[in-house]
Chain A
Amino acid sequence: MRRIHDFHGGIHPAENKLQSLATGIRPAGIPSQLILPLAQHIGAPSQPLVSPGDRVLKGQLIASAAGHVSVPLHAPSSGQILAIEDRPVPHPSGYSAPCVVIECDGRDEWVEEPSGIRNYRACEPSALLEKIRSAGIAGMGGAGFPTAVKLAGKPGAGITTLIINGTECEPYITADDILMQERAADILAGVDIMRHILKPQEILFGIEDNKPAAIAALKTAAAGSDVEIITFPTKYPSGGEKQLIEILTGKQVPSGGLPADIGVICQNVGTAVAVRNAVIYGRPLISRITTVTGDAVTAPGNFEVLLGTPMAHLLALAGFSAEKCERLIMGGPMMGFTVSGAEVPVVKTTNCVLAPTTREMPTPPPAQPCIRCGLCAQACPASLLPQQLFWFAQGKEFDKLEQHNLFDCIECGACSWVCPSHIPLVQYYRAAKADIVKQRRDHEKSEQARLRFEARQERIAREEAEREAKRAARKQAAEKRAELAAEGGDEDPVQAAIERARARKTAQQGTAPANTPDGGVKQLAALREKLAKTEQRLALSREAGEDNKIVTALEATVQRLRDRISAAEQSPAERETP
Chain B
Amino acid sequence: MTLIRISSPHAHGSDSTASVMRRVLIATVPGVIALTWFFGFGSLVNIIWASLVAVACEALALTLRRKPLGFYLQDYSALVTATLLGIALPPYAPWWLIAIGVASAILMAKHLYGGLGYNPFNPAMVGYVVLLISFPVQMTAWAPPRGLGEVPGLLQALQACFLPAQYDAVTMATPLDMVRQNNSLLLEDLWRDPLFGRWAGIGWEWVNLAFLAGGLWLLYRRVFSWHAPVAMLASLGLMAALFYDGGSSASGGSPLFHLLSGATMFGAFFIITDPVSSAVSVRGRLIFGALIGTLVYLIRAWGNYPDAVAFAVLVANFSAPFIDHYTQPRSYGHSKSGGQP
Query: Please, which residues of chain B bring their CB within 8 A of the CB of A368?
Result: 16-17, 71-72, 75, 116
Residue from A328, A381, A420 within 8 A of B15 (CB atoms): A420
Residue from B5, B11, B17, B275 within 8 A of A14 (CB atoms): B11
State whether B8 touches A408 (Cβ < 8 A).
no
State whether B329 touches A385 (Cβ < 8 A).
yes
Complex CA–CA separation, A383 to B280 (angstroms): 12
Known: A378-B225, A413-B8. A418 touches B333 (CB 8 A): no
Whether A5 sits at the interface, judged by CB under 8 Å, is no
Known: A378-B225, A383-B329. A327 touches B11 (CB 8 A): no
Query: Please, which residues of chain A bring their CB within 8 A of the CB of B340?
Result: 254-257
Query: Please, which residues of chain A bring their CB within 8 A of the CB of B337?
Result: none
State whether A371 touches B13 (Cβ < 8 A).
no
Residue from A339, A363, A418, A421 within 8 A of B3 (CB atoms): A339
State whether A373 touches B329 (Cβ < 8 A).
no
Residue from B72, B280, B331 within 8 A of A372 (CB atoms): B280
CB A252 to nearest CB in B, in angstroms, measures 5
CB nearest neighbor in A for B285: A374
State whether B11 touches A417 (Cβ < 8 A).
yes
CB B326 to nearest CB in A, in angstroms, measures 13
Whether B194 sits at the interface, judged by CB under 8 Å, is no
Chain B 110-130 interface residues, beta-carbon cutoff 8 Å to A: 115-118
User: CB-defined interface of A401-426 with B at 8 Å, one 1/0 digit per residue?
Assistant: 00011001001010011101110101
Whether B248 sits at the interface, judged by CB under 8 Å, is no
Whether B19 sits at the interface, judged by CB under 8 Å, is yes
Query: Please, which residues of chain B bring their CB within 8 A of the CB of A365?
Result: 16
User: CB-defined interface of A371-398 with B at 8 Å, one 1/0 digit per residue?
Assistant: 1111101100111110110000000000
Query: Please, which residues of chain B bring their CB within 8 A of the CB of A331?
Result: 8
Known: A340-B3, A383-B330, A384-B331. A171 touches B276 (CB 8 A): no
> Which of A13, A253, A372, A411 has the most chain B CB atoms inside 10 A of its CB?
A372
Known: A418-B15, A420-B17. A369 touches B8 (CB 8 A): no
State whether B280 touches A374 (Cβ < 8 A).
yes
Query: Please, which residues of chain A bring their CB within 8 A of the CB of B225?
Result: 374, 378
Complex CA–CA separation, A361 to B10 (angstroms): 7
Query: Please, which residues of chain B bring their CB within 8 A of the CB of A341?
Result: 1, 3
State whether A371 touches B116 (Cβ < 8 A).
yes
State whether A408 touches B333 (Cβ < 8 A).
yes
> Which of B11, B117, B225 has the most chain A CB atoms inside 10 A of its CB?
B11
For chain A, the count of residues having a C-beta within 8 Å of the partner chain is 72
Chain A 467-513 interface residues, beta-carbon cutoff 8 Å to B: none
State whether A366 touches B71 (Cβ < 8 A).
yes
CB A88 to nearest CB in B, in angstroms, measures 11
Query: Please, which residues of chain A bring their CB within 8 A of the CB of B278?
Result: 372
State whether A334 touches B280 (Cβ < 8 A).
no
Residue from A335, A375, A377 within 8 A of B9 (CB atoms): A335
State whether B224 touches A373 (Cβ < 8 A).
yes
Known: A255-B340, A257-B340, A374-B275. A387 touches B8 (CB 8 A): no
Whether A6 sits at the interface, judged by CB under 8 Å, is no
Whether A48 sits at the interface, judged by CB under 8 Å, is no
Whether A427 sits at the interface, judged by CB under 8 Å, is yes
Query: Please, which residues of chain B bring their CB within 8 A of the CB of A336?
Result: 8, 10
Whether B133 sits at the interface, judged by CB under 8 Å, is no
Residue from A171, A375, A384, A388 within 8 A of B11 (CB atoms): A171
State whether A371 touches B7 (Cβ < 8 A).
no
State whether A255 touches B17 (Cβ < 8 A).
no
Whether A121 sits at the interface, judged by CB under 8 Å, is no
Whether A242 sits at the interface, judged by CB under 8 Å, is yes
Known: A333-B10, A427-B7. A420 touches B331 (CB 8 A): no
Complex CA–CA separation, A420 to B276 (angstroms): 13
Whether B198 sits at the interface, judged by CB under 8 Å, is no
Residue from B8, B13, B328, B334 within 8 A of A13 (CB atoms): B13
Complex CA–CA separation, A375 to B285 (angstroms): 13
Whether A196 sits at the interface, judged by CB under 8 Å, is no
State whether A371 touches B9 (Cβ < 8 A).
no
Complex CA–CA separation, A373 to B80 (angstroms): 15
> Which of B4, B12, B77, B115 has the most chain A CB atoms inside 10 A of its CB?
B12
Whether B6 sits at the interface, judged by CB under 8 Å, is yes
Whether A326 sits at the interface, judged by CB under 8 Å, is yes
Whether A462 sits at the interface, judged by CB under 8 Å, is no
State whether B333 touches A254 (Cβ < 8 A).
yes
Chain B 259-308 interface residues, beta-carbon cutoff 8 Å to A: 275-276, 278, 280-282, 285
> Which of A11, A381, A421 has the most chain B CB atoms inside 10 A of its CB?
A421
State whether A322 touches B1 (Cβ < 8 A).
yes
User: CB-defined interface of B301-341 with A at 8 Å, one 1/0 digit per residue?
Assistant: 00000000000000000000000100011111110000011
State whether B333 touches A372 (Cβ < 8 A).
no
Complex CA–CA separation, A381 to B276 (angstroms): 22
Whether A329 sits at the interface, judged by CB under 8 Å, is yes
Residue from B9, B15, B72, B75 within 8 A of A416 (CB atoms): B9
CB B107 to nearest CB in A, in angstroms, measures 17
State whether B332 touches A242 (Cβ < 8 A).
yes
Whether B20 sits at the interface, judged by CB under 8 Å, is yes
Chain B 1-57 interface residues, beta-carbon cutoff 8 Å to A: 1, 3-13, 15-17, 19-20
State whether B328 touches A338 (Cβ < 8 A).
no
CB A375 to nearest CB in B, in angstroms, measures 7
State whether B9 touches A333 (Cβ < 8 A).
yes
Known: A336-B10, A369-B116. A408 touches B331 (CB 8 A): yes
CB A238 to nearest CB in B, in angstroms, measures 13
CB B295 to nearest CB in A, in angstroms, measures 21
Known: A363-B4, A420-B19. 11 other contacts (CB 8 A): A252-B333, A331-B8, A366-B71, A372-B275, A377-B282, A382-B333, A388-B280, A416-B9, A416-B12, A417-B11, A420-B16
28 CB-based A-B contacts, threshold 8 Å = A8-B332, A255-B340, A256-B333, A327-B3, A333-B9, A333-B11, A334-B8, A337-B7, A338-B5, A340-B3, A354-B10, A356-B10, A361-B11, A364-B6, A364-B12, A365-B16, A370-B117, A371-B117, A373-B275, A377-B329, A383-B329, A383-B332, A388-B280, A416-B9, A420-B16, A420-B19, A422-B16, A424-B7
Q: Which residues of B does A touch, CB under 8 Å?
A: 1, 3-13, 15-17, 19-20, 71-72, 75, 77, 115-118, 224-225, 275-276, 278, 280-282, 285, 324, 328-334, 340-341
Q: Which residues of A does B touch, CB under 8 Å?
A: 7-8, 11, 13-14, 94, 171, 242, 246, 252-257, 322-323, 325-329, 331, 333-342, 354, 356, 361, 363-366, 368-375, 377-378, 381-385, 387-388, 404-405, 408, 411, 413, 416-418, 420-422, 424, 426-427, 430
Q: Which 6 A-B pairs have the closest CB atoms?
A: A413-B9, A369-B117, A255-B333, A333-B11, A427-B7, A254-B340
